[in-house]
Amino acid sequence: MPDVPESEHDEEYVDRIANNAEVLKNAWQGALEDMEALADEREEAGWETVTMMAGSTGAQHRGVGDDDRFGLVFVVPSNHGEEFTEVFGDKEFPEYEVYRREVDGNVFLVVEYRDQETETAVFVAAQYELRHAPGMVHDAEDAGEFYTYVQKLDGTILGVFKHDSHEKFVPYAERIDDWKPEV
């Protein structure tokens, strides 16, 4: 998790989360339902699908950790990790789509990774807070690419996806430094 400096908004932030717990819970439930509906559509068309819920999602940037990684890190339970590893294998998943919505500074998203050749799709439902995104976005803009990682809780990376841009994940990057939570 990125280091977030204390601010005058910390107390308001806690209050805002507590007051909006039901709204956030419903948004997360909506993302999970969207993921299942999208996977069902693919399965009806004859595709093999894997659905995973990220138990935690980190907006990682180069200023954090011992490596040069940046992008979104989806931490998945071990049982989903095994299924993902079996499907990920030697496939490339060159196509992807991001379905996202923002609720009170939180991004709820479903990422669909597709391998047309093998008609295989991997879906990941995730949630992260925009306040953690600036460093990640700046690294992506500097590099001209963006990454998403699927990893287990122990840090074992199960798969890496390279994207040509961060725009589907954070579409208004030019304003990311000005983003402030509504208090």
Q: Residue 5 domain-assigned? A: no
* pTM value surpassing 0.95: no
The reported pLDDT for the residue numbered 2 is 47
Cα(179)–Cα(161) distance, rounded to whole angstroms?
Answer: 27
Q: Residue 2 domain-assigned? A: no
Closest CA to 102 of 170, 4, 33: 170
Return per-residue pLDDT of the chain as tens, 183 residues: 445 555 555 666 555 555 578 889 999 999 999 999 999 999 999 999 999 999 999 999 998 777 889 999 999 988 878 889 888 887 889 999 999 999 988 999 999 999 999 999 999 999 999 989 999 999 999 999 999 999 999 999 999 999 999 999 998 877 777 765 554
Q: Which amino acid is at 14?
A: V
Q: Residue 1 domain-assigned? A: no
Strand, helix or coil for residue 164: coil
**In contact, 63 and 48? CB cutoff 8 Å:** no
Note down the domain range covering 111.
Answer: 10-178
Chain mean position to CA 148? 7
Question: 128: which 2 tokens?
Answer: 């992260």
The reported pLDDT for the residue numbered 33 is 97
Tally of structural domains, the chain: 1
Return the exposure string of 62-84: e unless at least 16 CB atoms fall within 10 Å of the residue's CB, then b: eebeeeebbbbbbbbeeebbeeb
Inter-helix orientation angle 10-19/21-44, to 10°: 60
Closest CA to 107 of 146, 65, 54: 54
Q: Residue 3 domain-assigned? A: no
Q: Which amino acid is at 29?
A: Q
